[in-house]
Chains A and B, each alone.
Chain A
Amino acid sequence: MVRLTRSVKTSGCAAKLPSKTLNEILSSLPLMEDENLIVGFETSDDALVYDLDGENLLVESVDFFPPVADEPYEFGQVAAANALSDLYAMGAVPKLAMNIMCFPSCMDLSIMKDILLGAQDKAREAGCVIAGGHTIADSTIKFGLAVTGFTTKKRLWTNKSAREGDVIVITKKLGVGIINTAAKAEMADECDVKAALESMKTLNKKAFETACLYDIHAATDITGFSLLGHLYEMAEAASLSVRLDSSSLPYFSASPELARLGLIPEGAYHNRDYIEDKVHFASSVPREITDIMFDPQTSGPLCLAMSEDDALSFVREFGEPAAIIGCFTARGGSVIDVS
């Protein structure tokens, strides 16, 4: 059997181009404008948002990457859960999707079929229809979805509208990038790999539906740019700072030891390089925990900003592994302060 993760150099969202490189290019492009375009490139949000009629909004995003699971069906599930998550992070319900597939012409076509089936089943679970796509021959597999969905002006969540005093909730454990890297090196326990895979396959649908019961001020999902990269974008967009309590972070128990052994994805170093000077770590924060905070996540958690009362109720309602990890404060010395 072909082990899909062996056929590629990088896996999942760790394959993203570094933020620094991407921002240099994007900021040099002229902005395209349309009076109905509410969210575009400018705030590095999770999806574009287009005003359909003054009330209803169309939300659209695309995400694809190299295999992060060895089983084709499971890779399809993870890729779909990851792509659908961008819409949940905007407060939108995904409705339509298209496949994007790069596939080696010499590879067994049943692998492609299983990837597509995995994605289809995950989309069905989300109530979303995959209705087309595009495939090209390439040297390595890459797969994902372009997803379209809908929300209303009242329920649109962007990454830029956090308020001073909001607390930050995340809804999945962190550290999957480190476990995926260890799995590639055959240095991870099977049960840890399985737990990470289950987390990546889990839709952010329940997190979205639970969040709909509360007044969400800002939201994003944590993916390739890591917890700190995405929080930095939220803080910058709202001109606030973030205070994080590292002892409250939910993460896979194997991740710190695997980080200590040097099984850290290259993307984590790019993330660190990009924003390390904006982050202050208390000397009591172990290096391995900082690694987890820079670790690129694939199909990671929703990250929600809301009042403290709502957050406490959300965490009770959602249950494990949701956790309150910090808060937004008035802009101080560092953009992010980790204790």
Chain B
Amino acid sequence: MLTISDHQFTSRLFTGTGKFSDQDMMLAAIKQSQSQLVTLAMKRIDLHTNHDNLLAPLQSLGVKLLPNTAGARNAKEAIFAAHLAYEMLGTKWIKLEIHPDHKYLMPDPIETLLAAKQLCDEGFVVMPYVHADPVLCRRLEDVGCAAVMPLGSPIGSNQGLATETFLKIIIEQAQVPVIIDAGIGSPSQACHAMEMGADAVLVNTAIASSAQPEKMAQCFAQAVITGRQAYEAGLGPVNRQALATSPLTGFLGQSV
């Protein structure tokens, strides 16, 4: 059981709601993923289009909502977005993401730390999206973040765990849950992240951009369960040399 702040999750696969071909497909995929925490963004209403009710069907799935601050370019805008989310959804849970760079969407560490401190002081349950920086993750933990969400590779890139070495350090040091966010492109990568000891993974693009999102969501669900079980079972040590799994008594040579 994974606990973040005062909330318990039986599923360690968190999902995003973006990039699906339509809302029905998104809902079907989330259902198959068994995710219990899903991310949302916020936008000014377009008065010239229909207002799809995104929330009611998500709430009917029984998932907890995690609004994000996507679009914020600095701490001030992210804090504003968190207040907006609280007013809109009545939740103090916030995925803090500040990325002024549109090409690679790299999170700004300085602005993220500033915003995290203020939002934690205001009682928000802050889950910051950050680069896989072990020092920054400790600083974010120190100011009261409920979890840290280091990236595996750039958002939406499906490049996998390019930051693996640093993710391992973060997992080793963290006293709060570590959720590997961004870049996980396949179930095997999600499984690997869980085998490394990540507390959860957040997957969006890899499911949404699959030819069969529902099936892929199931695959991720299975992979995350398997990876977690493998971590709990304890992986065997890695050796540089061969270590025989069968007795080397040389009996074949003796029979000649």
Instruction: Report if A and B associate in a common complex.
Output: no
Question: Which B residues form the contact surface with A (CB < 8 A)?
Answer: none
Question: Which A residues form the contact surface with B (CB < 8 A)?
Answer: none
